[in-house]
Every structure is written in structure tokens, then in C-alpha cells.
Amino acid sequence: MAWTTYKEQIKQFSEQLIEIQRPIRILNSIKVNMSIVAEFQSNKYKQPPALNEEYYQKIPLGFDPEVKTKELYELKQSILLKLGSKDELGQLLIRMVEQYLITVEMLKNRGTVRFYECSKRLYGSPKDKFIEDKNRVIDMAHMLYEILCGVDASLSQQNFSENLTAQDVVNELNLRFSGYFGEGTVEAKISDGIIADAAAGGDTVKIREGAMFASREIDIYEVHEGWVHVGTTMNGRRQPVSKFLSIGPPHCASTQEGLAVIMEIFTFRSYPRRAKQINDRIICIDKAEDGANLLDIIEYFRTEGYSEKDCMTNALRVFRGGNVLGGAPFTKDISYCKGFVENYNFFRTAIRANKPQLIPFIFIGKLHVDDIPLLYSKHREGLVDQPIFLPPQFKDLHGLAVWMSFSSFFNRVDLVSVQTHYNGLFSRYT
């Protein structure tokens, strides 16, 4: 066997993992046929749709689970054999392989409780605590529910008419993406195969055919789908050695989705109703874990004032791949708020530790925020390149550094006393 450098070995293992995971497409494997939805609506929501193990077995995975499991195990053994058990990048690659092994097990068991058990291992549960903290994800969701309900009701409602077609959105996004990524690098296009209004994949942002959009949704898709999801993929693909950064196993979801939410907030493009929708999904995943069924969750969204279409779409997100009778949801949607907190805390800690140079590395590809220090050290060794596509807030860190500096002090503020002071003024003068 020809002698190979360490860089060549990392690149080869990366390329092998990329190829092995290529047919594993989680969301495609648990998609819900719209004819099932139409039938459910026609019976006036009396009988839950038969989204069970038998239904999902009819949706081809695109791979043989036994063969895929064997390939992943063989890759794991090869990494251990060549790099050893103590090599740090080797350990990271093995963790990725293990994530895909659980993913295969999850998809093999669509429509069952086992699917949910695997989902919890990959994405977590609303009942999980944040890193090194006593607070749970669901505790945050309950607190945000109270705040967002009040804020949304108090703010004057601007008229954001959904008067833009899917083609209008595609045309505008392509103009913006040309300016950010370069001409012809990233494309927005219309798709009839997605339930969500927008979805990112590789170098493409898909917009749902037939949907109507408000102008502010273009602003959100630009940063959420474009700058973050597509941007990190493109940065990962441009890695000459650590090409594994172009693919994202489930443990990357919280960092990715949390970063997308952060970019919406940093650019002041989010709004209370959107944040509440994300938060309500976490509440409903928690309810489903405790036994709520699809009808219960639809009724929850109705109570919160969602349209019938949004009630259905949000409820199906909670149960896709799991069991609509309750007790076995798909937990991925906790990633948005969970990841926001994890990323924000990383940024604050990096600033306080005088390590701001670590922060832009969250954009080098698909990763978990905890892996950034390791990957930064490998950058200094020439194994990881800096990100090419960076939002302006992360190219020039001065503003972010000031924001995080002030944010670090807020933990010391006695919020109860502050609220007592201002609530007295509010009740007196407003």
C-alpha cells in the first residue's frame, strides 16, 4: 500500500463518509403524502391518518439498511486502524459515523416507538437540560410562550400581505444570492416536492410551488436558508482536506438551526409570530412525548389562532416518521431554540475569554458548536480552511464583540428588582 500523509488520510475518510451517507435523506424518508392529508381533512379530522409503520414501509429509503450499517461499521474500523483511538479528527469522524448508524436505525423503524427513541438520541428531547445548566429546553419554551403571546398582542400589526408568488420569491432570492455568493454559485428554484414553504439543500434553496409569500419572508429566507444553511454547505465543500464539513449528521442540527435563528435576530428580520411558531412546536413535541396524539396537537394550534393549513403543517412536523397516536414524535424541531442558546452562550464565552477569532469558524461547514475549538486548532495545522462565505456581522466582529460584552453582564442583573421598578412606572403612566 502506498504511503499517505495525514492530510490525505483525513481527506480519503471524509470522501468515503460523504459517499456512504449520500443516499441517507431523513426528511425525504419521512415525508407525508398530501393525499393522506386531503383524506384526513375530508373526514373532518375525526380519524387520524394511517401514518404508521405500514405507511412508511411504502416509502423507499433509497438504501438497504443492513448494507449501509455494514459500510459504516467498516469505515469506523478503518478509521480506528489507521488513525488510532486518540486522534482528535479521527474521533470526530467516528462520532459522525456513529450518528449515521443511529440514523439508519431510526429510519429502519419509521412509524414505531423505536424511531422516537433514536430521534431522542440524535436531536434530544424538550426535557433535556442545556449544556452545564439546570434549565430544560421546555422551561425556555414555557417562558417564551408567555412573553411572545403578550408581545405579539401588544405590537401594532403591520400589514404583510402574502401577495408574492413562488416565482417572485425565486427571482428576488437569485438576485440577492448572486451578490452574496457570486453569479451562478447558489440558486433558488421552485419545487413541488416539499411541505415547508422553503428548504435548503446543497447549493439550492427550494421554494414551494403554488404558495404565496409576504415580502418579509424573502428577507428571512435570504439569511436563514441562504447565508446559514447553504453558506455552511458551500464552505464545507471548499475544504481541501476536511471535506466531512460539507455534510451534517443530526448532531449538527442544533448548531445549524440555532445559527439560522441567530442570523434572523441579528439582522432584525424575525418577528414575534414566527418565533412563537418555532416555540409552539417545542411545546407540542413535549406534549406528544407525554402521549398527545395528532388530533390533540392540531387542536392546540387551533387554540393558538393558527390557520387550518398551518395547524396541519405544524402538527405533521411533530409526528412525521413517528406515531400519530402519541408517545413517539420526531424531536428535530427542538434544535432551533436549543441551538440558539448553545451558540449564543459560545459567543459570549469566546468574547469573555478573549477568543473572538473562534466565532467565525461556526460557518466553516456542518459542525456542532462544541467542535469549534478543535477545528480552529486544526486550522492552525493547515487541515481546516477559514470560511469563505461569511455574513457581514461575522466578517467584522467589532459590533458582535460589544453586543456579547454587554450581554455577559446581564446575568448579574437582579431582573426581579428591575421588573418591580419598571412595572410600577408602567402601571402608573400607561
**Does residue 19 lie in a domain region?**
no
Q: Is 175 helix (H, G, I), strand (E, B) or coil?
A: helix
Supply the pLDDT for residue 194.
74
Please give the share of the chain, as a percent, with pLDDT higher than 90. Answer: 81
**Does residue 111 lie in a domain region?**
no
Supply the pLDDT for residue 156.
66
Closest CA to 180 of 245, 230, 216: 230
User: What does the pLDDT look like over 117-172, one tens digit per residue?
Assistant: 999 999 999 999 988 788 999 999 999 999 999 887 777 666 678 889 999 999 99
**Does residue 231 lie in a domain region?**
yes
Mean pLDDT computed over 199-205:
90
CA–CA separation, 364 vs 236, rounded Å? 6
Residue 193 has pLDDT above 80, yes or no: no
Evaluate whether 190 touches 166 at the Cβ level (below 8 Å): yes
Mean pLDDT of the chain: 93
The 3-class secondary structure across 111-124, one letter per residue, is: CCHHHHHHHHHHHC
Evaluate whether 274 touches 144 at the Cβ level (below 8 Å): no
User: What does the pLDDT look like over 298-345, one tens digit per residue?
Assistant: 999 999 999 988 899 899 999 999 999 999 999 999 999 999 999 999
Residue 195 has pLDDT above 80, yes or no: no
**Does residue 315 lie in a domain region?**
yes
Count how many domains the chain has: 1
User: What does the pLDDT look like over 227-253, one tens digit per residue?
Assistant: 999 999 999 999 999 999 999 999 999
CA–CA separation, 51 vs 254, rounded Å? 26
Supply the pLDDT for residue 159.
66
**Does residue 143 lie in a domain region?**
yes
Supply the pLDDT for residue 385.
97
Supply the pLDDT for residue 227.
97
Supply the pLDDT for residue 157.
65
Which domain covers residue 241, as residue numbers?
Answer: 127-396
Supply the pLDDT for residue 249.
95
**Does residue 254 lie in a domain region?**
yes
Evaluate whether 261 touches 278 at the Cβ level (below 8 Å): yes
CA–CA separation, 180 vs 178, rounded Å? 6
Residue 1 has pLDDT above 70, yes or no: no
User: What does the pLDDT look like over 244-300, one tens digit per residue?
Assistant: 999 999 999 999 999 999 999 999 999 999 999 999 999 999 999 999 999 999 999
Closest CA to 186 of 229, 216, 125, 220: 229
Closest CA to 130 of 353, 345, 403, 406: 345
Positive or negative torsion for Cα 398, 402, 405, 411? negative
Higher pLDDT, 39 or 69: 69
Supply the pLDDT for residue 414.
86
Q: Strand 187-191 relative to strand 164-165: parallel, antiparallel, unpaired? A: unpaired
**Does residue 116 lie in a domain region?**
no
Supply the pLDDT for residue 222.
97
Supply the pLDDT for residue 64.
97
**Does residue 229 lie in a domain region?**
yes
Please name the helix (run of DSSP H) or strand (run of DSSP E) that holds residue 189, with its range, or none.
strand 187-191
